[in-house]
Structures are given as structure tokens and as C-alpha cells.
Amino acid sequence: MRLAQASGAAGGVRQWGTDARTAGAQLGPATDLVPEQGPADTTVHVDPTLTFQKLTGFGASLTDSSAAVLHRLDRRRRDALMAELFSPHDGNGLSMLRQPIGASDFATSLYSLDDVPAGDTDYALQHFSVAHGTKQILPLLRRAKALNPRLQVIASPWSPPAWMKTGGSMIDGKLIDDPRIYDVYARYLVKFVQAYAAHGVPVDYLTVQNEPQALLRADYPGTDLPVTQQAAVVERLGPALKRAGLRTKILGFDQNWAEHPFDVKAHEDAGEDPELNYPLDLLKSRANKWISGTAYHCYYGGPSAQTALKASFPGKDIFETECSGAGIDRTIGATNNRARSMIFWNLALDENHGPHTGGCTGCHGTVDIDSRTDEVTYTDNYYTLAHFSRFTRLGATRIAASVAAAEGDSAPPQVAAFSNPDGSTALVVHNPSTTAAHTTTISAPGVHVTTGVAPDSTVTYTWARP
């Protein structure tokens, strides 16, 4: 990607742009905007008086695989890269991380935090341990937190320990339908939060199952967790967190905007009714009182599902907790549909999209690090996050932004706007056309300027309080 460069000024507006057609950018600061001359074909109206959700942040997932790849770098290079990722002063200012509890598909081995020999159980959780994470993952989390003290952590399990499940495996299967299992699983999650806090990494948000509707996972951890079971766990987890004096909030669901046809068929083939309204039904259950909001993924369906759920439960937050390779349009779509976060999958991977135990074979990290040369490649995910994370701060509020395009324009700009706590504004404008540039007028209180947006490019514009 190429970063747009300009000089001069236009009403105090600054810009930072990326061009998806060009690779190998040199990162740089925002520059003063040079206005275009002549008529505009689109107008972007920004209205800071019409406000929506507050942002929690933007980030990625520091998986086992990401930690392993980062630790291949020597200490000096690793520290420099972490600063590029997390420093709000000299880097991208990533402010959220989603942490797997135990193994995910991007792990170097299959493990939970309470593994016992096959056939054994551990209701007392005597074998519980976070030792797996103490060598690489936790030190990196502490480093990220030191670089950005406002960093928020969301934690999600891909599977409970195998002894809690039908089939006795972390791969596929269900949670055993037994109140004793619901209770011990809730205590397991509380022990995780306590252990990470003891290691200097407070957990701000917690989900009880990654992608609870997905079936037929042949090579990596996963669990089919129906609404009734998730509700049963949450009804125990909420009080357990409270008794432990923990402020960790619970997010429900943690899957796509809509159920994928593959998963629908898998449920039907198993003689089950697909739970097409999973997040809605979960919030209608008795678990509602313990649920702070709903977590979504971006892989199937559309982000309007978030706004629909928010309309039914206006007091519950919306978070986007996993996305990969979907581009800037899904990030804009998620934030424009009430998401307080956008978290991409995998902070760092190698040139072979790994290492991993199974699952996605084509996922990119936020950065890719060549295992032979240690060369770092900044991916589309990095630049997409940068357009938001570099220019918004914790407590920023999404504000209204709309596009008035020429009649017949089949690819008008996509936009999202935010007001920071200091009164400054950040406006993200993406031109989805791969062939046509846009000449766009930005109209906001104290700002009226015309600028060009190249094909297949994105620009973040910022200006101070008028």
C-alpha cells in the first residue's frame, strides 16, 4: 500500500491515505490536505450533533501462533514491532486484543487449561494452569499493555477442557448437559480471569464460546453450544465473577451476523433445528441480566444484524470480535452498525499463514513475518486498522456521516465519522471503485473543503474542534 503525501493546508484538515493497489509503504504521519479545484461529484456531510455508540477500540488477536512468530524475532526487533503496533504515539495505537482461552485453530498444540488423562475428571480444578502462556503470550500481553495502558482484553475459549464434553475431545462435540458441568465450566473461566490478572493482564470482557453454532470441525477445537447451554453457563458465570470481585463483563454469542448455510445444513443433518436467532434468544433468556453485550464475527451475513439487535435491546452493547481478510468496507459497516470494536484475527503470522493446527489456511496476520528472513510485511489488516486506531481514542463517539452522490453512481464512497474526547473529528472515506476517482466535498461545522479520493483507496481526514 502507498501512503498519500501532500503539503499545504485546507481549513486545518489533515489526511492519511492508503492505496490498496500499491505495496511496500513507508509509514508516516498525517499530512495537511491540499484542496482539489473544480466541481465535486460527491458530498460527505458530517453532523457531530447526532451521536451513536462510544468506541472501545481496534485491534487483533495475540494467538499462540502470533506469539510464536513474534518470538522468532530478536528482542530488539520484536520490541520495535510491538511499538509500531501498539504505541498510540509512534505506531498504530492498537487498543484491543482478543485472547483464546486454551488452544484455537492458530495454536502450536492442542491444549486446555485443565487437561487430565482420558476418562478422568477434575471438578475441583486441581490441574488448572496457565503455564502454557507464561513463556510467550503473557509477556507480550504485558508489553502491549505497557505501550498502550488503555488496552482492553477480550478472552474467548474455542473449547472447554475435553473432560467436560461429549466425546471427550476438544475437537467438535458439545458441553455435557449437566448442571455440575455448567458450574465447573463457569469456575474454570473465573480462574482464567483471576490467573491473568495475577500475571498483570486484566481481562475486560469474556465470552463463553467462540462460534457456538459451528459444527464438523475435524482438525481444531470447537464446541456446538446451544442457546440453552450458553445461558446456563452465563447464569453461573455472572454471579461467580461478582463473588470473586471481578469487573469482567460477559459478551454473548461470538459468531457471524447470520448463520452460514454450511452450519444450517450440519444442524439439520444432525436432526436439530438451526438456531437462526441465537443472539436474540440468548438475550431473551434469564441470562440477560449478566450479559453486557453481543459479540459478532464478520464472515457471513451483513452488519445490519447488529443494528437490528440493538433496536431490540438498546441497553446492550455490540462488539465485533473477529474478522479477517474482509477489507475496509466491513470495518466501516460494523462501526456504522453500532459496533464498539473491530478485532482482526491474528496479530502476526508467517509467510505460510501459520503456524496452525487446522482451520483457516489463507488467513493473514496484521503483520506477516517471514520465517527465513524475519522480513515484516504490513498487511491490508494493518492498514485497515490504522485508519481507525491512529485517529480515534478511547471514549470516541461515532457521529453521523452521510454521502450525497451523483445520480447513477454505482460505487459511491463509504464513510464513518467519529468525535474524540478532545473535540477533534476523524472521518474515514473509502472509494470502493477500482477504476474511478471521486472528487469529494467534506461538509461539517467549520469545515468545507473539496478533495480527491483515488480508486480503491481509503483516506482518514482529521480536524480540530471548530
For residue 96, the domain's CATH number is 3.20.20.80
Domain endpoint, select from 341, 373, 389: 389
Domain endpoint, select from 361, 389, 417: 389
Residue 21 and residue 103: Cα distance in Å, rounded? 36
Residue 320 and residue 167: Cα distance in Å, rounded? 31
Q: What band does 27 get if pLDDT is binned at 50, 70 and 90?
A: low
Query: What kind and span of H or E run contains 369?
Result: strand 367-369
Residue 62 and residue 143: Cα distance in Å, rounded? 12
28 and 133, same structural domain? no
Q: What band does 3 get if pLDDT is binned at 50, 70 and 90?
A: very low
401 and 368, same structural domain? no
CATH number for the domain including 425?
2.60.40.1180
429 and 341, same structural domain? no
**pLDDT, tens only, 170-179:** 998 999 999 9
Q: State the virtual CA torsion across 333, 337, 340, 346 in degrees, nearest 10.
A: -30
Q: Which of 239, 244, 233 is nearest to 192 (CA)?
A: 244
The total number of structural domains in the chain stands at 2
Domain endpoint, select from 389, 419, 449: 389
**pLDDT, tens only, 357-384:** 888 888 889 999 999 999 999 999 999 9
The predicted structure's pLDDT at residue 406: 86
415 and 379, same structural domain? no
> What is the span of the domain harbouring residue 298?
56-389
322 and 273, same structural domain? yes
313 and 169, same structural domain? yes
154 and 45, same structural domain? no
Does 427 score more than 70 pLDDT?
Answer: yes
**pLDDT, tens only, 187-201:** 999 999 999 999 999
Q: Which alpha helices (DSSP H) does 360-460 contain, by range?
A: 380-389
Residue 430 and residue 457: Cα distance in Å, rounded? 6
The predicted structure's pLDDT at residue 21: 58
458 and 384, same structural domain? no
pTM of structure = 0.95
67 and 17, same structural domain? no
283 and 180, same structural domain? yes
Q: How far is CA 181 from CA 110, 250, 380, in A?
A: 21, 19, 42
61 and 47, same structural domain? no
**pLDDT, tens only, 276-309:** 899 999 999 999 999 999 999 999 999 999 999 9
> How is the beta sheet containing 348-350 ordered, strand by strand?
348-350, 367-369, 376-378
Question: What single-letter DSSP state applies at residue 140?
Answer: H
